[in-house]
Structure 1
Amino acid sequence: MNFKRQNREEVAVNLTPLIDIVFLLLIFFMVSTTFTKENHLSIDLPEATAEAANAPIQALEILISASGEYSVNDQSLVNAQLQTLKRALQKMLGGRETAPVVITADAKTPHEAVVKAMDAAGQLGLVNLSITTRQPAKSE
């Protein structure tokens, strides 16, 4: 028996449509994704037993993280230099000569960072300073 051999074409997988689909998905996810940068610092406040006072509405708030990073009115600063902190406070003053300053520092913040914030405010003539704390947990 003499069987006739069939001419078999070489099987090849065309990857071009697959690559097109992958690029379309990549572009779709790049366009539909939103990139947000959170400026909030994680802060654990120290405790104090004094009654809380209402903070003035137009107060400048300086947040200091446990690692000594500064944020003025929820805007993070690029570094922890005294001049950078002073420039940020001047910018937030917006032409006002004085404003109350509320310093919110983490319980584990180095003392130097808090003193530097107080010094920056003092050099700008801001003398109405407050340091925020939290009420201790009541144990009965």
Structure 2
Amino acid sequence: MRNRKHFNENDEMTDINISPLIDMVFILLIFFIVTTVFVEEEGMATNTPDPSPQTDPPDEEKVRLTLLIKSNGEVFSKLGNVQKNIGLGGVRALVQQEMQREVYPILVNVEKDSRIGTYVTVHDTCMLAGAEGITMKVVQE
């Protein structure tokens, strides 16, 4: 208890001026920013498409099988002039059956408010069934 200083009301509190300290910190910051070497690390390679012009979608006359995805999730097939509700479960069998006869592009018409998950499922199912050319088209019906 001997080393304690007691402050009287007459003692003044001294303030430390930190302006030079702030100036020094800014100078150091600028020094480190200027002298820093940025190393570019190699990341994962990506497969980006070639910037070649896009091919036009197949003509409606060349397409024999057309699938229609409704906004409520129903899947319809149009083979020639016959249209019927096949659902998601009937896509693979129909596409396999048609691809055994002749390989031709498939057109998938999608209504504007339909879910993307339904289209992805139909697209993947067509690919698994052996379809080589699948084109998506948004329709207003």
TM-score, with structure 1 as normaliser = 0.49
Relative contact order higher in (CA < 8 Å, ≥ 6 apart): 1
State which structure, 1 or 2, has the greater radius of gyration over its C-alpha atoms. Answer: 2
Structure with bigger strand share is 2
